[in-house]
């Protein structure tokens, strides 16, 4: 069936795209703006990738000689085809490519490393287009509002770019985020195309279960395209994080903001992954990463409200006059509210992992919809091998050999990983993405073996679980017992954190 389906689909999709392309040439219209061209191009690429896997691996088992090397070659060919598609179609396709590039340890390294370059290679709109969007949305000549606007953007992403500007009315320095002019027009068509294609691929090739990627894009992209929604998120997150003195969330200037333009406070600092900036300014990478780890542990486990795109371009680091590092958290297009039952199951899964409690890992993986893949889920959450998880992730640091083994394994169990991603609650998908972006940051800051990530996680998820026990206590004795246990556990973790900070190198923490 797969061969018949592939032979039918590929010529139709390629023919459809070619015919529309010829029509665009005759009419003088940009081919990339014609929906059928974009859909045909995407469909042909998806079909070629799926057929490549089927044809190249036909009759082979995972134990066959050279299977792993062959699989790596197919992954790389497929990743390059996907990147080419994203770069040509742009817009929502770049966004999806960046999502794939953020899934370290969840997808084969050939995909992640190839697609990660899209964070650097995102397209820029000409400055004339930027001025046109400002004029249309603010309904006033931009030069009547801004005394200066830097022509070169501070940064460009898949949907928008940011320019430094100075307000004419009071001389305030601001950051102006301006949406690429054609993104709105193409985005919804691209979402529909992706949804159709991944569902068709799932029918023809049951091993390839990437429906979750289209579903997440369909849900998230409209939110990211509405900059007023981002502004509201920014204010909400600022209020929730007010207690953290080391975090800054920019304030919004509403009268110069629309669905396609967001004007906000300009935040000074260097990219959070720029080690040269740390050295020039005397900032400790370890201190910054421990702060970020604490911040996101609190968001996920305690607040249940999470910034879901903490890639290095969305965080700046600076320091106060007293020398304390301060982190500016930018780009609030996607925030996640985690339902309490998922937050509790996720916290309990982490406690089971931290205690190397295999039986409870299975129990809580079942609550998250993947009991049969409980061991794989634990490895995906920690970015450790099963040997590392089952013997205690805090009992040893990850070695270069284990890191290499993880990358090799990810390349051979793609179907298992895709099944996990397809079955877990959608909220867990975004948490996994967030975890991987933070792990990538730890690697770039050369603090991957810092124990603060696990101790912050231990502290945050223990608070959540014990508070539930207190809430569910049916007698004063149960309440007292749970309270004493909570105080003892939290004090032990906190003492261990202080010991690590002031007296000792990393060592195991047994909860």
End-to-end Cα distance, the chain? 52
How far, in Å, CA of 177 to CA of 253, rounded?
Answer: 12
CA distances from residue 27 to 13, 14, 41, 182 in whole angstroms, order as listed: 21, 20, 19, 19
Angle at 33 between CA 40 and CA 17, to 5 degrees: 20
Q: Are strands 146-149 and 160-167 parallel, antiparallel or unpaired?
A: antiparallel
- Between the CA of residue 31 and those of 12, 19, 43, 196, what are the distances in Å? 18, 11, 16, 21
**Joined tokens for residue 201:** 């691929």
| Catalytic residue, candidates 309, 357, 419, 436 | 309
Q: Please indicate whether residue 309 is annotated as part of the active site.
A: yes
Cα 180 to Cα 111: distance, rounded to the nearest angstrom? 26
Dihedral angle of Cα 159, 162, 163, 169, to the nearest 10 degrees: 100
Long-range contacts of 476-482 (CB under 8 A, 24+ apart): none
Whose tokens are 């929730």? That residue is 240
| E-assigned strand segments in 42-172 | 146-149, 155-156, 160-167
d(CA 269, CA 277): 9
> Which residues, 6 or more positions from 228, have their beta carbon under 8 angstroms from its beta carbon?
257, 258, 259, 262
Burial 374-402 (b: 16+ CB within 10 A, else e): bbbbbbbbbbbbeebbbebbbeeebeeeb
- Active-site positions? 309
């Amino acid at each position: 069936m797969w061969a018949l389906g592939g032979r039918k689909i590929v010529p139709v999709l390629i023919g459809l795209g070619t015919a529309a392309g010829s029509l665009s040439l005759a009419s003088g219209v940009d081919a990339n703006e014609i929906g059928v061209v974009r859909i045909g191009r995407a469909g042909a690429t998806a079909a070629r990738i799926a057929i490549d896997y089927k044809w190249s691996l036909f009759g082979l088992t995972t134990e066959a000689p050279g299977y792993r090397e062959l699989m790596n070659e197919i992954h790389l060919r497929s990743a390059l085809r996907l990147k080419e598609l994203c770069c040509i179609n742009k817009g929502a396709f770049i966004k999806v490519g960046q999502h794939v590039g953020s899934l370290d340890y969840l997808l084969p390294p050939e995909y992640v490393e190839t697609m990660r370059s899209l964070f650097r290679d995102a397209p820029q709109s000409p400055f004339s287009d930027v001025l046109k969007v400002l004029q249309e949305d603010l309904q006033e000549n931009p030069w009547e509002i801004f005394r200066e606007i830097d022509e070169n953007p501070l940064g460009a992403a898949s949907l928008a770019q940011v320019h430094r500007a100075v307000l004419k009315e009071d001389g305030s320095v601001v950051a102006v985020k301006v949406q690429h002019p054609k993104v709105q027009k193409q985005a919804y068509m691209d979402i529909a195309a992706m949804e159709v294609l991944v569902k068709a691929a799932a029918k023809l090739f049951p091993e390839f279960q990437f429906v979750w990627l289209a579903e997440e894009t369909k849900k998230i992209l409209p939110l990211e395209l509405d900059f007023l929604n981002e502004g509201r998120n920014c204010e909400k997150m600022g209020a929730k994080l007010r207690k953290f003195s080391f975090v800054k969330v920019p304030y919004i200037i509403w009268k110069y903001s629309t669905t396609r333009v967001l004007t906000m406070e300009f935040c000074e600092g260097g990219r959070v992954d720029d080690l040269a900036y740390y050295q020039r300014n005397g900032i400790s990478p370890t201190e910054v990463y421990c702060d970020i780890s604490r911040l996101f542990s609190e968001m996920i486990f305690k607040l249940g409200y999470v910034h879901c795109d903490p890639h290095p371009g969305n965080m700046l680091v600076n320091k106060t006059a007293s020398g304390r590092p301060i982190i500016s958290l930018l780009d609030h297009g996607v925030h996640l509210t985690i339902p309490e039952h998922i937050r509790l199951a996720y916290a309990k899964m982490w406690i089971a992992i931290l205690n190397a409690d295999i039986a409870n890992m299975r129990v809580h993986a079942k609550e998250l919809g993947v009991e049969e893949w409980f061991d794989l889920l634990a490895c995906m959450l920690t970015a450790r091998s099963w040997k590392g998880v089952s013997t205690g992730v805090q009992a040893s640091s990850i070695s270069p050999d284990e890191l290499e083994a993880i990358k090799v394994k990810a390349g051979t169990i793609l179907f298992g990983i895709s099944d996990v991603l397809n079955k877990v609650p959608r909220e867990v998908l975004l948490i996994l993405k967030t975890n991987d972006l933070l792990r990538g940051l730890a690697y770039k800051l050369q603090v991957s073996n810092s124990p603060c990530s696990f101790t912050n996680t231990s502290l945050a998820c223990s608070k959540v679980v014990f508070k539930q026990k207190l809430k569910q206590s049916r007698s004063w004795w149960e309440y007292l017992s749970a309270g004493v246990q909570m105080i003892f556990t939290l004090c032990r973790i906190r003492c261990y954190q202080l010991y690590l900070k002031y007296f000792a190198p990393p060592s195991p923490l047994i909860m």
